[in-house]
A and B are shown apart, each in its own frame.
Chain A
Amino acid sequence: MTTEGKPVPGKSDVRRLSEQLGEGEAALNARLAALSTYRARDLPSRVDHLWRYTNPVHLLPGDSLLSNLSLPDTTTTSLPTDEPAVLLVPGRAPLLNKAAEALGLTIAPLFSDDMDAEALGVTTPSEAGLFASLNAVAWNTGLSVRVPRNLRTDLPLRLLIPAVAESCLPRVLVDVAEGADVTVVEEHFGGKEGHRVIGTTGILVGQGARAKHVVVERWQEGVNGWLSVQSRVERDGSYQLACATVGGSRVKLELGADLAGQGARSEMAGVVLGGDNQFLDHHTRHRHLCGHTWSNIDFKVALTGRARSSYTGLIRIEEDAPGSEALQENRNLLLSDTARADSVPELEILTDDVSCSHGATAAPIDPQQVFYLQSRGIARDEAVRLVVQGFLESTLDMVPTAVRADLDRVVVERLAQLGESP
């Protein structure tokens, strides 16, 4: 059932889903609690700037929300054998390969123990918004990754999350214990016209721990989705997020980090490549809850065709967070005269002992640079691609080296596609 575009599942629907996934009591109770929060919520207000540019109705799943979980086997994406990877498909238990098992992490279905409920509450509280609470009610594939104390892994762990079902609601929790060091690559891909994804990822970075996180979104055309990535960084912890958004038709990503202990650091690098009629909406939020914390955001957007990007970014420094430093930069490169970019970089500073700055720009490609490359015998299309790659380069440089190559590949592929369309 839906009302005004908002799907409203009943309690029995939620029970059935929980049964299907073979969940215990704790998981079901968490879902039912989220259901009452979700029901009480209205659609996000379009007056509020976070939703001014995107109509939430376009992102919400319809009646398929709680049905259609028995997918044919052909939808299974094969797992790579040489690198640690986990496959997340709606309605099934996460599938691990041998390399993933060998990492020494505890990788299990979400809510296989009760601690997950508490940990998820920290990173993605169901009160966070309509979409977050919907995910808490109806997630249909869930994973928890626990990194034990002081464990350092060299190989990145890949989470493969194909948009195979009409409604995909992945829910991921990564808990990095004190002093540990881990790299997680989250890949959202596949799907077809009409598919909807509502996904949340929560990351807890313990004292002195380090988490490197890569999010790649390269859905097929026609897929609409909302993804939330929220982290909480404790004392002397460090969180690094690299995010590349290239696919899907209407996409909204909310990326947030709370700096909760002294010396905590968060760094975000975002690359957005849009073409055709894509509408890519991003929100970043850095909250400094504690003093002597540091954050940096570098967000680059390149658009062609009739693509449109909206970027809203908030830096908030709370009253008890003196000695904080926060930086934010958003650059937009407009490659066609029908592309459109909105940028709203915001600051909320509640104490005086801070150093804070942000900048935003929008400009066309520099014709001189293209001309120079052409004069060296490079075709115009190729020259434009090179200039765009150069524009994105400094942001991509922030990405951990272990996954840099993958991200470069995604960017080059997308650039090649964009070159082909008129």
Chain B
Amino acid sequence: MSSTRNIADLNQDYRDRYGFADPEEFLLKAPKGLSHEVVEMISRYKNEPEWMNAYRHEALDIFLAKPMPRWGDSEALDSIDFEDIHYYLKSSEGAANNWDDVPENIKNTFDRLGIPEAEQKFLAGVTAQYESEVVYHSIDEDLKKQGVLFTDMDTALREHPDLVRKYWATVIPSRDNKFSALNSAVWSGGSFIYVPPHTKVEIPLQAYFRINAENMGQFERTLIIVDEGASVHYIEGCTAPVYSTNSLHSAVVELVALKGAKIRYTTIQNWSNNIYNLVTKRAHAHEDAVIEWVDGNIGSKLTMKYPAVVLLGERAHGEVLSIAYAGDDQHQDAGAKMIHAAPNTTSRIISKSISKNNGRSSYRGLVKVNRGCHGCRTNVECDALLMGDQARSDTYPTMEIGENDVRVEHEARVSKLADEQIFYLQSRGIDPDQARLMIVNGFIEPFVRELPMEYAVELNRLIELEMEGSVG
């Protein structure tokens, strides 16, 4: 274990060797690129406990040792220059510093979505905080009364170290994949939620209610623990495009639902089209627990994201409901994984994708039933809609069934926007553009109806924008 020793040495003489008295100062001048020094800086700056520091360094070694995945969009992955990225940025950096620098099309989208100006600036990263203090405070009071912990990850590590350490990386270890290793080495920000036993959190918790700045980081780390019989609905992201000058986003999200608990995790990602979005999301569902991932991917250059549920206890249920929209030059490689590791567990995956012009959307999924897990049922449905003769759709499902007393079903359909449907609507006096939009809205309706109302409205408007001028 020579690398461990090296890290220890590094820790000991770090102060002497680099001698920075004011880490914040130093960070502002931090060069691009990835190294043990950078990792050490992040950890020192955050004043983290020793175990986290060691964990980060070990993860970096794993990241450096692991080869780049050879599946998915290898070409795009190979084009990422890891030396050209800032691995730690204070939230005021990375995003545009000036409202004038925010690209025109993004500003227009904000306007069209009807987002208030203060919020627009927040979403574009010009201001670091969304001014929702009043709303936040009343929610905060309620949560405190219930004993619910809801903070950003850095605060959680400071204030609830034992709880964090108990569950940290238990769902997604750093060596899970190259990008989980990267996140483990340089993570920053993200949400931490703990819901005590038999507590139902009535209102959905949203990342941007949090007053802390670092909720939109590139390497955010989210950990949600819901104790026995409790439930929570967490919402991350938003329909408005999130603009960042940094091109790599690699989050790790871990959910733990203990006996009888329920977690719904809703994401709508609309990264601007220069971003690689490489995210690892996984949940543990214990006995009778329910996990639901509601996952919408609209933006980014390349998204590779496969929310997973490991069904660990009897009668646990996992569900993934996702849509992907791949417009010009976009590749949405999304999917879901269900691992049935206990008897009588059930799961369902519904995936909808739309590819427009030369966009490419892929469903990539895994359903695995371990030996001895009798009575499991799982159902996978993939629907793809193609618009334009350059559009591409792929379906790569994998089913590994090691038990006979199970029901596994998978179905996929790919079709284009049907001329006869448009014709029918036209015959009723609806113009072709409007008709196309209606058909697309109908196609994604099963997803939209699972969203809170304000998100549903925004998503519909966004699809309308994306569809504009599309010649089916």
A interface with B by C-beta (< 8 Å):
45, 47-49, 319, 322, 332, 334-364
B15 within 8 A of A: no
A346: which B residues are within 8 A, CB to CB?
A: 394-397
| Given A359-B410, A362-B408: A342 touches B401 (CB 8 Å cut-off) | yes
Q: List 24 A-B contacts (CB under 8 A).
A: A47-B70, A336-B404, A338-B371, A339-B404, A340-B371, A340-B400, A341-B399, A342-B398, A343-B399, A345-B412, A346-B395, A347-B414, A348-B394, A351-B389, A351-B391, A352-B355, A352-B416, A352-B417, A355-B415, A358-B410, A359-B410, A360-B409, A362-B406, A364-B404
A337: which B residues are within 8 A, CB to CB?
A: 371-372, 374, 403-405
Expressed in whole angstroms, the minimum distance between the Cβ of B417 and any Cβ of chain A is: 8
B392 within 8 A of A: yes
Interface residues in B394-435 by Cβ distance below 8 A to A read 394-417
Partner of A343, one of B388, B391, B410, B414: B410
B390: which A residues are within 8 A, CB to CB?
A: 319, 351
Q: How many residue pairs bridge A and B at CB < 8 Å?
A: 123
Expressed in whole angstroms, the minimum distance between the Cβ of B341 and any Cβ of chain A is: 15
Bound complex: CA A337 to CA B405 (Å): 7
Nearest B-chain residue to A364, judged by Cβ: B404
Q: Check B394 against A353 for contact (C-beta < 8 Å).
A: no
User: SS class of chain A's interface: helix, strand, loop or mixed?
Assistant: strand
B407: which A residues are within 8 A, CB to CB?
A: 361-363
Bound complex: CA A174 to CA B390 (Å): 36
Q: Check B412 against A357 for contact (C-beta < 8 Å).
A: yes
Partner of B408, one of A347, A354, A363: A363
B386 within 8 A of A: yes
B51 within 8 A of A: no
B157 within 8 A of A: no
Q: Which of A45, A336, A354 has the most CB of B within 10 A?
A: A354
Partner of A349, one of B393, B397, B417: B393
B308 within 8 A of A: no
Chain B's interface size range is: 35 or more
Bound complex: CA A319 to CA B388 (Å): 11
Bound complex: CA A342 to CA B410 (Å): 12
User: SS class of chain B's interface: helix, strand, loop or mixed?
Assistant: strand
B417: which A residues are within 8 A, CB to CB?
A: 352
Q: Check A364 against B406 for contact (C-beta < 8 Å).
A: yes
B71 within 8 A of A: yes
Bound complex: CA A414 to CA B107 (Å): 68
Q: Quick one: CB contact mask for B283-311 with A, threshold 8 Å, 1 for yes? A: 00000000000000000000000000000
Q: Quick one: CB contact mask for B6-45 with A, threshold 8 Å, 1 for yes? A: 0000000000000000000000000000000000000000
| Given A347-B414, A349-B386: A340 touches B396 (CB 8 Å cut-off) | no
Nearest A-chain residue to B377, judged by Cβ: A363
Nearest B-chain residue to A335, judged by Cβ: B404
Q: Check A357 against B411 for contact (C-beta < 8 Å).
A: yes
Q: Check A349 against B398 for contact (C-beta < 8 Å).
A: no
A358: which B residues are within 8 A, CB to CB?
A: 395, 410-412
Q: Check B404 against A354 for contact (C-beta < 8 Å).
A: no
A319: which B residues are within 8 A, CB to CB?
A: 389-390
B410: which A residues are within 8 A, CB to CB?
A: 343, 345, 358-361
Name the 3 nearest CB pairs between A and B, nearest first: A334-B404, A352-B386, A347-B395
A356: which B residues are within 8 A, CB to CB?
A: 413-415
B185: which A residues are within 8 A, CB to CB?
A: none
B387 within 8 A of A: yes
Expressed in whole angstroms, the minimum distance between the Cβ of A119 and any Cβ of chain B is: 32
Q: Check B392 against A350 for contact (C-beta < 8 Å).
A: yes
Q: Check B398 against A47 for contact (C-beta < 8 Å).
A: no
Q: A334-B404, A338-B371, A354-B414 are in contact. List 9 more A-B contacts (CB 8 A).
A: A47-B70, A49-B71, A337-B404, A341-B401, A344-B398, A346-B396, A348-B392, A349-B386, A354-B386
Q: Which of A341, A355, A362 has the most CB of B within 10 A?
A: A362
Nearest A-chain residue to B417, judged by Cβ: A352
Bound complex: CA A56 to CA B387 (Å): 40
Q: Check A353 against B398 for contact (C-beta < 8 Å).
A: no
Bound complex: CA A68 to CA B409 (Å): 48
Nearest A-chain residue to B374, judged by Cβ: A337
A351: which B residues are within 8 A, CB to CB?
A: 386, 389-392
Expressed in whole angstroms, the minimum distance between the Cβ of A315 and any Cβ of chain B is: 9
Nearest B-chain residue to A354, judged by Cβ: B414
Bound complex: CA A335 to CA B405 (Å): 9
